Structure 1
């Protein structure tokens, strides 16, 4: 019976970067400013405080005319804080 050939493995060569400008931009990314985590923390605390105030006062505060829109405002602050946190490096 004939013997099968042994396959040689190819030597891995990493791909060359086709866009050197993109690599230069990636290297230049600096840490975010101090305002980013501070703003996110303030928005989180404000959103939680808004919701807790709404529930504890049975809808009388922060703005009684908004009724259930107070929930949207509180959760909206939390969602905006998540958007700010995406900019944190």
Structure 2
């Protein structure tokens, strides 16, 4: 029985005029201050919450009352925002 002929497929090459600069721009590394700032915000947020709870809600700022929780969790959420930009 004769063997069938093997067809060679064309290799796909994307056109060069479709967003050539966008691929190179996304590979740029992030600045060195981003991970350090994010870790500092996490530590500050956790420390703020720990001090708030251990001081029976009198420290860091007694007049803010439950807004101290917003400050602590806000620092941690801000650090997540920074870490999402880290490459």
Q: Same fold (TM over 0.5)?
A: yes
Q: Which moved more, 1:25-34 or 1:42-51?
A: 25-34
> Which sections of structure 2, spanning at least 5 residues, go unmatched?
1-8
- How many residue pairs align between the two structures? 79
Q: TM-score, normalised by structure 1?
A: 0.75
Match of 1:19 in 2: 18
> Which sections of structure 1, spanning at least 5 residues, go unmatched?
1-10
User: Which one of 31, 37, 40 corresponds to residue 39 of structure 1?
Assistant: 37
Match of 2:51 in 1: 53
RMSD of aligned C-alpha atoms? Answer: 2.2
User: Which one of 65, 68, 86 corresponds to residue 84 of structure 2?
Assistant: 86
